[in-house]
Amino acid sequence: MKLLVIGSGGREHAIASKLNQSPLTEKVYCVPGNPGMALEGIFTADISLTDHEKLMQFAVDHEIEWTIIGPEVPLFNGLADDFHKNGLRVFGPSKAATLIEASKAFAKELMDQQQIPTAAYQVFSDYQDACRYVEKQGAPIVIKADGLASGKGVVVAQTVLEAQIALKEMMQDHKFGQSASQVVIEECLVGEEFSLMAFVNGEEVYPMPISQDHKRLLENDQGPNTGGMGAYSPVPHISASIVDEAIRKILIPAAKGLADSQTPFTGVLYAGIISTDAGPKTIEFNARFGDPETQVVLNRLESDLAQVITDLLEDKKPNINWKKSGVDLGVVVAAKGYPATYAVDIPIHVGQMEETTVYYAGVKEMANALYSNGGRVYLIEAQGSDILDAQRKVYNQLMQLDTKQLVYRKDIGDKAKRR
């Protein structure tokens, strides 16, 4: 088969790399991709994610068997719908089903309907009303932009003033544009967070191993929220019973609710979950693979990813096996200044690695060399016998690299060691 991955980041690099390992694939394309992917034989083409006609024509011209869409924005823009309308097979939800990520208010309503455990909340489109609600509720409290904000539209406010500042930035200063014209204000839940992804086809749900993302920029979960600074899988201090409960009470009802609403979901459904004293509760849903969770979770898949997705697209039950032992851990390396203003054109010299794998994200090619071209530049991943072994491999590699103009967290996975 010839397969197409839509996107250009580390998540798409991991997906394309896994598909490239399949004996079923002849060629794997990633569009637009990035120059780092080409180093392992993934073909790229410079087509904008907004140009649906050119993307579909590319699939036709290159005899693509099926396409998987990585990022959320093209999904919300209806790219999967357009592929379907033109008779092209695609693994990714419709625009209507993508609302589970693209609108926090929609997701909350779905959770109410399906009795999915989540934080108490209110939705506001008026700034003054939102401020009055915060004053009444007190802090800590969570402020969320309703729409898509690249993983950065959430503020866990420790004081009422901090919450009011967040509301002003979102609703009056339009920090996230139209994405924050409406906000969701939630109670602040206490517990351990984890990510639970699943392959979904209608009401059929096939869970993946859980992982733990690190959203904050700095060690000990300090600093601003980012798109994710690292992850590891599995998460040893989250019990199997908690995961089973999350699958039963969160993932399965969500898939059923979408199907019952005539917006059945096909693709990867992601649940951000917090394990509280009252059991697992939903923080958010995403309508696609997480980033950077994908870079560690897919390495735990022993089955053929190309076969799994083919089976799902043909309404067959896939055979999915995961590693039973060891740990996969990945650390994101970002440009200094991320997630605010950051430098570009930083020379990237990673080279050959024995014990680790690199997944490129924000890079470009100039004069046959790689340079940074985004906030998150690359992720280094390793498989270890345990968390310490995986950490040792990744951080030993990072210490050998020139990262003077870059930044990365030095505590990815430490929570697992403290348990």
pLDDT digits (tens, 9 = 90+) for 345-354: 999 999 878 8
% residues pLDDT > 70 (the chain): 100
Is the pLDDT at 79 greater than 60? The verdict is yes
For the chain, the average pLDDT equals: 96
Position 139 scores a pLDDT of: 96
CA distance 168 to 162: 10
CA distance 333 to 36: 14
Chain centroid, CA 110 distance in Å = 21
Is the pLDDT at 278 greater than 80? The verdict is yes
Position 406 scores a pLDDT of: 97
Position 418 scores a pLDDT of: 67
**What is the model's pTM?**
0.95
Position 419 scores a pLDDT of: 57
CA distance 213 to 78: 28
197-222 pLDDT tens trace: 999 999 999 999 999 999 999 999 99
End-to-end CA distance of the chain: 45
Position 391 scores a pLDDT of: 98
**DSSP string covering 277-311, please?**
TTEEEEEEEESS--TTHHHHHGGGB-S-HHHHHHH
For 345, counting Cβ atoms within 10 Å of its Cβ (0-12 exposed, 13-18 middle, 19+ buried), the class is exposed
Is the pLDDT at 274 greater than 90? The verdict is yes
How far lies 251's CA from each of 22, 60, 100, 310, in Å? 28, 34, 12, 22
Is the pLDDT at 356 greater than 60? The verdict is yes
The DSSP output letter for 58 is H
**Triad 143, 269, 306: Cα angle to 5°:** 145
Three-state secondary-structure class, residue 77: coil
Position 353 scores a pLDDT of: 84
CA distance 44 to 204: 32
pLDDT category, 225, cuts 50, 70, 90?
A: confident
Domains and CATH numbers, the chain: 2-94 (3.40.50.20), 126-181 (3.30.1490.20), 197-313 (3.30.470.20), 327-417 (3.90.600.10)
How far lies 129's CA from each of 123, 158, 353, in Å? 10, 20, 55
Position 352 scores a pLDDT of: 78
Token pair for residue 203? 């009401």
CA distance 405 to 215: 21
Three-state secondary-structure class, residue 173: coil
Radius of gyration from C-alpha coordinates of the chain:
21
Amino acid at 269: L
The arithmetic mean of pLDDT across residues 191-198, rounded, is 97
244: number of Cβ within 10 Å: 12
135-184 pLDDT tens trace: 999 999 999 999 998 778 899 999 999 999 999 999 999 999 999 999 99
Whether the CB-CB separation of 326 and 386 falls below 8 Å is answered with yes
Position 9 scores a pLDDT of: 97
The DSSP output letter for 229 is S
94-139 pLDDT tens trace: 999 999 999 999 999 999 999 999 999 999 999 999 999 999 999 9
CA-based nearest residue to 300, from 18, 12, 67, 22: 18
Question: Could you tell me which residues are beta bridge partners of residue 211?
Answer: 195
291-321 pLDDT tens trace: 999 999 999 999 999 999 999 999 999 999 9
Is the pLDDT at 252 greater than 90? The verdict is yes
CA-based max dimension of the chain = 60
Contacts of 80 (CB under 8 A, 6+ apart): 69, 90, 92, 93, 94, 95, 267
Position 354 scores a pLDDT of: 86
